Amino acid sequence: MSRSESNDGKRASGRQGGTFRKKSYARGNAPIKKPGAVEKPGDPNLIRLNKYLANSGVCSRREADIYIAAGNVTVNGKPVTEMGYKVKLEDEVKFDGRVLNPIKKEYVLLNKPKDFTTSGRNEKGRRTAIGLISKATKAELKPVGKMGKDATGLLLFTNDGELTKRLNSPKNGLRKIFHVELDKPLRSADLKKIKEGLAVDDKVVKVHDVSFIENAPKTQVGIEIYSTRNNIVQRIFETLEYQVVKMDRVVYAGLTKKDLPRGHWRYLTEQEVANLRMIK
C-alpha cells in the first residue's frame, strides 16, 4: 500500500486516524439548535427580580433569592417565589409591604478642594464639586448636607434619598471632625468656653471635643462636633470674634480621608454603606 493510500484510509476511517474527528453535538460539545431557530436579545425593559431588590438597597442578590423563595416579595400585588423571575421597571414590587425603587443606589465620597461650590449647576463659570465626580456614575447624585465654597474635606454624594434624609436629621447628630485655622491665636479662655458650651443665636452648642493641633501654631484647632446646624463651626468662632481662614472636614460619620487625596473621590464599600444605614 502506498503512503498516500494509507493516509486516505485514515481519512476515511476518521476515528482510527484521528485527523478529522468530528465533534458530536449529542455529547454536549455544542448546543443543539432547531432549524430556523433565532436567539432573541434580552429585553432591556426587563430586570431580574433579585437584581431589582439589590438595586433597591434591600439586600444582596444572593439574599434576595432567599427572600423571594420565602414569599416576602410581591409583584403587582401577587407573591412571586419563582427564581429568575423578571419584572418591568413600571411594575409595583413590594418587599414586606414596602414599595421598592429599582434605581441602583450610588454612594461616592469626595475630598473636596477649596473654591468648589456644592450647588448642582455651574453658574457664572463657578467650579462645582459635582463636576469632580462626573465620571463616577451616570446616576444623578446630590451632596449630603452643605459645605461652603471655601471649605475642604469629606463630602458624600448619593441618590439614596432615604439615607440623605436620615443623615441630615438633627436628631442623629453625626460625628464630624474639623481641622480649623483661625485668623489669630485662640485664647485658652475661649477654648474653655467652647468646651463648656457656647450660645450661638440663643441656643447652646455642645461640642464633643476641641483642642489645639499638636505641634502647630495656636491658630490651628481641631473640633469634634455632632450638630447638624448650618455653618455651625464658623459661627462658633465668629461668636468669639475669630475668623475662620481654613476649614477641613477630616471625619464624617465614620468616614475618613485615608488614601483619598484632595480632589479625588471613591465609592463607599458595602460595609460603609451598611454602617450608614444603621443610623436611625
CATH code for residues 175-252: 3.30.2350.10
Instruction: Report d(CA 205, CA 195) in Å as an integer.
Output: 9
Instruction: Note the pLDDT tens digit of each residue in 141-150.
Output: 999 988 989 9
28: its cell numbers: 454536549
pLDDT at 248 over 70: yes
pLDDT at 233 over 90: yes
CATH number (3.40.50.300, 3.30.70.920, 3.30.450.20, 3.30.70.580) of 105-172+254-280 reads 3.30.70.580
pLDDT of residue 72: 94
In which band, very low, low, confident or very high, does the pLDDT at 152 lie, cut at 50, 70 and 90? very high
Average pLDDT of 108-136?
86
One-letter identity of residue 81: T
pLDDT of residue 121: 58
Instruction: Note the pLDDT tens digit of each residue in 192-223.
Output: 999 999 999 889 998 999 999 999 999 999 99
Instruction: Note the pLDDT tens digit of each residue in 187-199.
Output: 999 999 999 999 9
pLDDT of residue 54: 87
Q: Which residues of 129-167 are buried (b: 16+ CB within 10 A; e: fewer)?
A: bbebbeebeeeebebbbebbeebbbbbbbbbbeebbebb
Instruction: Note the pLDDT tens digit of each residue in 87-111.
Output: 998 899 999 999 988 888 899 999 9
Instruction: Report d(CA 57, CA 103) in Å as an integer.
Output: 9
Average pLDDT of 35-60?
72
pLDDT of residue 24: 43
Q: For 87, what's the count of Cα atoms within 13 Å in the CB-facing half-sphere?
A: 25
Share of the chain above pLDDT 70, in %: 82
Query: Where in the chain are all domains bearing CATH 3.30.2350.10?
Result: 175-252
pLDDT at 166 over 50: yes
pLDDT of residue 124: 63
Distance of alpha carbon 236 from the chain centroid: 31
pLDDT averaged over the chain?
84
Share of the chain above pLDDT 90, in %: 60
- Lowest mean per-residue pLDDT among 32-41, 79-88, 110-119, 143-152: 32-41
Between residues 38 and 245, the one the model is more confident about: 245
Q: For 197, what's the count of Cα atoms within 13 Å in the CB-facing half-sphere?
A: 7
Query: Where in the chain are all domains bearing CATH 3.30.70.580?
Result: 105-172+254-280
CATH topology of domain 46-99: 3.10.290
Query: Where in the chain are all domains bearing CATH 3.10.290.10?
Result: 46-99
Average pLDDT of 47-70?
90
pLDDT of residue 3: 46
